[in-house]
Copies of this chain bind each other. A is one copy, B any other.
Amino acid sequence: MTTLASTAAVLRCFSATRSSITVTEAASLLALPKSNTSRLLRAMRDAGLLETIGESKRYRPGALLLGLGQSFRSASSLVNRADAVVARLVAAIGHTGYVSIRDGNAVSGVTYHPGSNALHVATPVGRPLPAHSCATGRSMLARMTDDQVRALFAEPWAPVSRTAPQDIAELLDRLRKVRAVGYAESHDEANRGVGAIACAVGAPETGETVSLCIAYPIATVTAAERKDIIRRLLAGARDVAALVGDAAWASQATALAPAA
């Protein structure tokens, strides 16, 4: 285990449910001796990757890492524009929205806008979600070829719920539908009780792809409201696509325009 691999492993320990970590916790999670873990965490803190909370005992991600996401956001016009659109949609709709990116077969959020409704999806995708079982993931997978998706999910997976894709065949089938309608939808899958609509947009110049997503509590959203979310999200995604020059949306612009 190189220092770099251990460092990344430590960072992967953090999640929405674990915002700080101790030497013993990390040693247990990484299956490393306490001595190494102690030195590793201290070295990471000295390097600015982590910071200690009180005097010294618990570690959490440091300013360097927290600032990185922010500076990337303002440097990437795609994320920036997508975020602006999501912010506008959230203000209009009241449900939670976020912008996500894919890393291998997982997706994680990069910006987040809590909804204004009393009941809204609170915890964003702080922890990476499996790309096959969330709307954001499938919206981005739909931009790849079937062969690429097969390569990404060579191993079978345990279904996360009854409504989630059970195997690669069902996933590919659902991706075909995503390509046809322009958006991906999840219903009570990786996030239980949560429904989500997502559209993916790519910037040809930088090779980035992001997903714009609106997530809502299934119980409170009517069919009409769902249609409205889809309409607004498609329009927003088209706006972003036009700004960054995403050919996929330009060619489908008219076909995707819903009648109502």
Q: Which residues of chain A have a CB within 8 Å of any CB of chain B?
A: 2-5, 7-8, 11-12, 14-20, 43-49, 51, 53-54, 60-76, 101-103, 106-114, 124-128, 205-207, 239, 242-243, 245, 247, 250, 254, 256-259
The interface centre, meaning the residue of A15, A48, A62, A106 with most chain B CB atoms within 10 A of its CB, is: A48
Inside 8 A of A112's CB, which chain B residues have their CB?
A: 70, 74, 205
Contact A11–B68 (Cβ < 8 Å) = yes
A17 to chain B: which residues have CB within 8 Å?
75
Q: List B contacts of A12 (CB < 8 A).
A: 48, 64
CA distance A8 to B54 in the complex (A): 22
Q: Are B70 and A245 in contact (CB under 8 A)?
A: yes
- List chain B residues, Cβ under 8 A from A45: 259
Say whether A61 contacts B70, CB under 8 Å.
no
Other-chain contact of A54, B53, B207, B245 (Cβ < 8 Å): B207
Contacts of A67 in B (CB 8 A): 69, 108-110, 125-126, 128, 242-243, 254, 256
Q: In terms of DSSP, what is the predominant structure of the interface of chain A?
A: mixed
Give bound CA distance, A169 to B60, whole Å: 33
Give Cα distance in the complex from A45 to B104, angstroms. 12
* Distance of A198 from chain B, by nearest CB (Å): 16
Contact A113 to B205, CB < 8 A, known contacts A12-B64, A128-B63: yes
Are the CB atoms of A70 and B103 closer together than 8 Å?
Answer: no
* Contacts A/B (CB < 8 Å), 25 sampled: A2-B47, A3-B4, A8-B49, A14-B68, A15-B75, A16-B74, A19-B76, A20-B206, A45-B259, A48-B258, A53-B206, A63-B102, A63-B128, A66-B243, A67-B69, A67-B110, A67-B126, A69-B73, A70-B108, A70-B109, A70-B124, A70-B126, A70-B245, A74-B247, A113-B205
